[in-house]
């Protein structure tokens, strides 16, 4: 084998290895899309089951329930602990979610965090409207979730999450604190409240002019199946190309010795 043939053979081997690796990566990407499709189908089933489930009552004894199930709770609002969740858009408009704990009637030291609704972000330097919830005993109805829905936070990449809550309540400026995401453990630590391990997305109601229109999770599993098919197609192409190149290199080489005929006259 000449030097040029050896160099060509080496390049072909490298190409085969890269094609096999590419095929493996595409297969893994396709499998991930299939898992996402399964998760979305399971979530869709859970939401559908929650819509027809009987409404639960949350209190000091019944502290939690399945996600997406309807629930109710009675108590009074703790307006001094209201928090604004920033960068929550509604129909393309920037705004806030307003979250306020509800002190439960039979256990005043136990509270349930309620996502009361959405409000548009005011224009520059314009004050926020009055977000005080009604005083006195109230019954709140809504949908249970295991946590406050999260938004992507650049701090998750840098390790500095935007979860800063004031050390003293109410804040010195009298305005509710603004955070990107809110964990129940952080709010409990900052306020000293004994919070239930669920939150409630409030059903449509009249509450300080807020809008109760909650964006649900994406349930389009078909999209994931389409992406999975594309990734598996890419993997097939890469592996077929690798197989063809390997066949070209290692196929049996036929001898090219010329045949000679001798003719006797």
Let me know whether 137 and 66 are in one domain. yes
Bridge-based pairing state of the strands 194-202 and 95-104: unpaired
Per-position pLDDT tens, the chain of length 265: 566 666 677 888 888 999 999 999 999 999 999 999 999 998 888 888 888 889 999 988 889 888 999 999 999 999 999 999 999 999 888 999 999 999 999 887 899 999 999 999 887 777 788 888 888 999 999 999 999 998 765 554 445 555 578 777 777 777 889 898 999 999 999 898 999 999 999 999 999 889 999 988 888 889 999 999 999 999 999 999 999 988 888 776 544 445 444 444 4
Instruction: Classify residue 189: in a domain, yes or no.
Output: yes
Task: Tell me: do 109 and 62 sit in the same domain.
Answer: yes
Count of domains for the chain = 2
Domain span holding position 136: 56-124+132-202
Residue 213 located in a structural domain:
no
Per-residue burial over 170-209, b if 16 or more Cβ lie within 10 Å, else e, is eeeeeebbebbbbebebbbebbebebbebbbbbeeeebbe
88 within domain boundaries: yes
Asked if residue 32 belongs to a domain, the reply is: yes
Whether 91 and 179 map to the same domain: the answer is: yes
- Do 62 and 193 fall within a single domain? yes
Q: Are 141 and 196 part of one and the same domain?
A: yes
Residues 188 and 242 in one domain: no
pTM of the model: 0.74
């Amino acid at each position: 084998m000449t030097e040029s043939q050896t160099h060509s053979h080496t390049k072909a081997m490298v190409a085969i290895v890269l094609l096999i690796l590419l095929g493996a990566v595409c297969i893994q990407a396709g499998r991930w899309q299939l898992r996402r499709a399964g998760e979305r189908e399971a979530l869709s089933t859970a939401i559908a089951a929650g819509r027809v489930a009987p409404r639960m009552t949350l209190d000091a004894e019944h502290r939690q329930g399945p996600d997406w199930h309807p629930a109710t709770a009675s108590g009074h609002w703790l307006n001094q602990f209201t928090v604004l969740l920033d960068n929550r858009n509604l129909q393309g408009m920037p705004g806030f979610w307003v979250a306020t704990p509800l002190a439960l009637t039979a256990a005043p030291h136990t509270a349930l965090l309620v996502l009361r609704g959405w409000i548009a972000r005011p224009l520059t330097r314009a004050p926020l409207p009055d977000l005080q919830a009604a005083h006195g005993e109230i019954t709140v109805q809504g949908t249970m979730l295991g946590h406050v829905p999260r938004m992507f936070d650049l701090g998750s990449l840098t390790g500095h999450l935007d979860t800063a809550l004031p050390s003293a309540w109410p804040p010195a400026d009298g305005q509710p604190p603004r955070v990107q995401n809110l964990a129940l453990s952080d709010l409990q630590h900052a306020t000293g409240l004994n919070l239930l391990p669920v939150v409630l997305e409030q059903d449509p109601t009249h509450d300080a002019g807020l809008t109760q229109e909650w964006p649900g999770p994406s349930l389009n599993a078909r999209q994931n199946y389409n992406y999975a098919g594309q990734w598996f197609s890419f993997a097939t192409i890469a592996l077929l190309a690798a197989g063809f190149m390997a066949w070209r290199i290692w196929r049996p080489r036929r001898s090219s010795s010329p045949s000679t005929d001798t003719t006797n006259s």
